[in-house]
Amino acid sequence: MEKLDDIDEQLLKLLGENSKQTIKELADRVNLSHTPVFERVKRLESNGYIKKYIALIDAEKLGYGLIVFCNIKLKQHDKRIGHEFVTDILRLDEVVECYNISGDFDFLLKVYAKDMKHYQDFVFNKLGSVTSIGSTHSTFVMSENKNTYNVNF
C-alpha cells in the first residue's frame, strides 16, 4: 500500500468534515480536475482509508439527552468472561461505544439515554443481567464541548 500524498490527505480531511461535497467541489478545493480527484477518492475508499459514509443524527432531537460514561469492572479476568461481556454489550442499544481500557476498570462504555430514569433502568435491568460484570461507576456528561468524529491529522 503506497503512502498518501498531500492531496490525498486534503481529500480525507474535506470528506471527513462533509461528505456531501461533489467531486467537482473537491476538485476545485485541491486545484485539480475532477478525474484525478474521482480516482483518488475511489482509491481511498478501496484501500480502506475511508471506512464508510454516514449521516450524523441529532440524538438530543430524538429524546436522547443524556450521555454517560460507564466504567465497568469484570468479576474475573479470563478470556472467556471478557468475550462473554463484549458479546452481551454489543446487543445493548444504549451502548454506542465500548473500549477495553487500562487502569482500575476493565471497560469504558459510552451510553446514550433519554433521561436519568432511562439510565437507571439501563443499569439495573440491562447491565444488571450481564453476569460477567463485577461493578460499575458512572460519569455523567454535563456538556459536550467538542466532537470531531474523526482524527485530526
Partner DNA sequence: CTTGAAAAATGGAGGGT
Partner DNA sequence: ACCCTCCATTTTTCAAG
123 binds a copy of itself (CB under 8 A): no
CA distances from 1 to 29, 50, 90 (A): 25, 14, 32
**Separation CA 73–CA 136 (nearest Å):** 6
**Chosen from a copy of itself, DNA, none, partner binding at 95 (C-beta under 5 to 8 Å by type):** a copy of itself
**Which segment (22-30, 92-100, 115-123, 128-136) binds a copy of itself by CB under 8 A?**
92-100
Q: How far apart are CA 52 and CA 35, in angstroms?
A: 21
Judged by beta carbon distances under 5 to 8 A according to partner kind, the member of DNA, a copy of itself, none in contact with residue 135 is none
CB atoms within 10 A of CB 105: 17
What is the number of other CB atoms lying within 10 angstroms of the CB of residue 70?
22
Set of cell numbers at residue 36: 484525478
Per-residue x/- marks for a copy of itself, 44-73, CB under 8 A?
A: ---xxxxxxxxxxxxx-xxxx--x-x----
- For residue 127, give the DSSP letter: G
Q: Which stretch binds DNA (CB under 7 A): 29-37, 62-70, 77-85, 110-118?
A: 29-37
Residues binding DNA (CB under 7 A): 7, 22-24, 31-36, 38-40, 42
Q: By the criterion CB under 8 A, which residues form the site for a copy of itself? A: 4, 12, 15-20, 47-59, 61-64, 67, 69, 86, 89-90, 93-103, 107-108, 112, 139-153
